[in-house]
Amino acid sequence: MNVFGVTGWKNAGKTGLMERLVAEINGRGHSVSTLKHAHHTFDVDHPGKDSHRHRLAGASQVLLASTERWALMNEHRGAEEPSLSELLAKLDPVDVVLIEGWKRDSHPKVEAWRAETGNPLIAPSDPTILAVASDTALEIDRPVFDLDDTAAIANFILDYLGMAK
């Protein structure tokens, strides 16, 4: 499966870039799935709903289904967080999976970077970051794209993955 990541510090523009890349790449006729890493507890369920009650009762998995979608919730119940490769194996086949987060994994990435955050660039010390999408000009040893130039960033990713048309 083709994978490419978007990484960067908090408030660097990762989610906006991911959203635009999904639309751009999908609009070019490629199927796209995404994986997003959260560094905090999150919940897609709602207190009081049947599925939430099932989880609170101790279910390891709860599958919620309707005519529009289905969602499978897994509780770790003390087990380690699954690795990126384990999570990728759970996805149905698509043309490309875009990954948000997982800074320290070895898949190819573009770094989203905004000067206003004051955070250092990750790219100089990380060879898995193949390009930077920035809101300002940078002097670095790899391609730098305007953070809002979604088409150019998508071209770079698809070319790297051998999917350019």
The Cα–Cα gap between 126 and 61 comes to 36
Bridge partners of residue 72, in order along the sequence: 63
Q: Residue 79 carries which DSSP code?
A: P
The reported pLDDT for the residue numbered 161 is: 98
Residue 21 — very low, low, confident or very high, per pLDDT cuts 50/70/90?
Answer: very high
Cα dihedral 95, 100, 105, 111 sign: positive
Contacts of 72 (CB under 8 A, 6+ apart): 61, 62, 63, 64
pTM of the shown model: 0.89
Cα–Cα separations (whole angstroms), residue 44 to 47, 64, 71, 150: 10, 11, 9, 29
The reported pLDDT for the residue numbered 59 is: 84
The reported pLDDT for the residue numbered 111 is: 98
What size, in residues, is the chain? 165
Q: Where are the chain's structural domains?
A: 2-41+81-160
CATH domain 2-41+81-160 topology: Rossmann fold (3.40.50)
pLDDT in tens, 96-154: 999 998 888 999 999 999 999 999 999 999 999 999 999 999 999 999 999 999 999 99
Q: For 8-33, what is the mean pLDDT?
A: 96
The Cα–Cα gap between 91 and 83 comes to 13
pLDDT in tens, 29-72: 999 999 998 876 667 778 888 888 888 888 888 888 889 988 88
- What amino acid occupies position 93? P
The reported pLDDT for the residue numbered 27 is: 97
Residue 75 above 90 pLDDT? no
The Cα–Cα gap between 35 and 87 comes to 8
* Residue 66 or residue 28, greater confidence: 28
